[in-house]
Amino acid sequence: MKNSRRLRFAVVLSLSVILVTAAAAQQQQQAQPAQPPQYQQQPAPLTLEKISEDIYQVKGGSGANGGVIVGRKEIMVIDAKMSEESAREMLAEIKKISTVPITILALTHSDGDHINGITAFPPDIKIIAHPETKRYMDEAFKDEKQRAYLPRIMTFDTKNFDFDLGGRKVQLLYLGPAHTSGDVVVYIPEEKVAFLGDLFFSGRDPLVHHHKNGDSFGLVKVLQSVLALDAETFLSGHADRATRADIEGMIQTLQEKQAKVKALVAEGKSLSETLESFGVKETPAPQPGRTRFLNLVEVIYLELTEKK
């Protein structure tokens, strides 16, 4: 009899743990949706890839790639991973390469795979983002722990923000709506390196968040502005390091698709007919509480047909 009661208690306890864990995972997912499945990366060991002297790309762990810029007096981290666990792992790896304090967190945009680990950072970290990024975070972050990490520095009135990390110049540039309405490029002129967040994808269509006022035609303009920088190495959230030729190739692919969709719209083709001509299907309705991520052809079509 006692063994039976113990067994029932163990089963109830196990189910409770599972339900609590699932609820916590669901809450984190709902805090900020990550990328659609085709854009998500398989978890790999978190590493710091050295790009140049004192500049690293964060790879692996949960969520998107990030960055680290080590100055003489302070360290800037770019993006915060998708989970608190991965963000803590990232911070531990950074401490292995430098004893300089981590004082600044720059956010390239508001997607969950770039920001959901933010609560792993010290409460007094300086968080920098575009006002549009803060707006989407403000809508998504519900609990007080998350809300304590809403960005506090947003001086993009002149479309850029210069930082001096003790002799190392860093520029945060807002070049216009693209992947979202609040994308920021982190540019290190001396090293000719630019962190692009999700402005660049390799081997697949770029992701433009229509629900966050992203714009495919804006993305072309932003990437052209990126090429106007004196940069040679381009780092992004879901690809290996890229070159100028890679950026040029993405611009060309985007413009070709835009031109084809524009011609089909001029012929009076419906969205379904346009998608069919590209051999893609309309994005299905999402589960309740989830985000509907449109494919690139849908985004372009809507940009050309919706009233702004």
d(CA 195, CA 278): 31
pTM of the model: 0.86
Q: What is the pLDDT of residue 12?
A: 40
d(CA 225, CA 174): 10
Which parts of the chain sit beneath pLDDT 50? 1-3, 5-7, 9-30
- Residue 169 pairs with which residues in a beta bridge? 164
d(CA 11, CA 53): 54
Please, what are the domains in the chain? 30-253 (3.60.15.10)
For residue 112, what are its two tokens? 């969950």
Residues 134 and 150: beta-carbon distance below 8 Å? yes
Q: What is the pLDDT of residues 46-64, one digit of tens each?
A: 999 999 989 999 999 999 9
- Residue 193 pairs with which residues in a beta bridge? 188, 233
d(CA 9, CA 2): 10
The residues, any chain, with a CB within 8 Å of residue 227's CB and separated by 6 or more, are: 244, 247, 248, 251
Return the amino acid letter for 235.
Answer: L
Return the amino acid letter for 225.
Answer: S
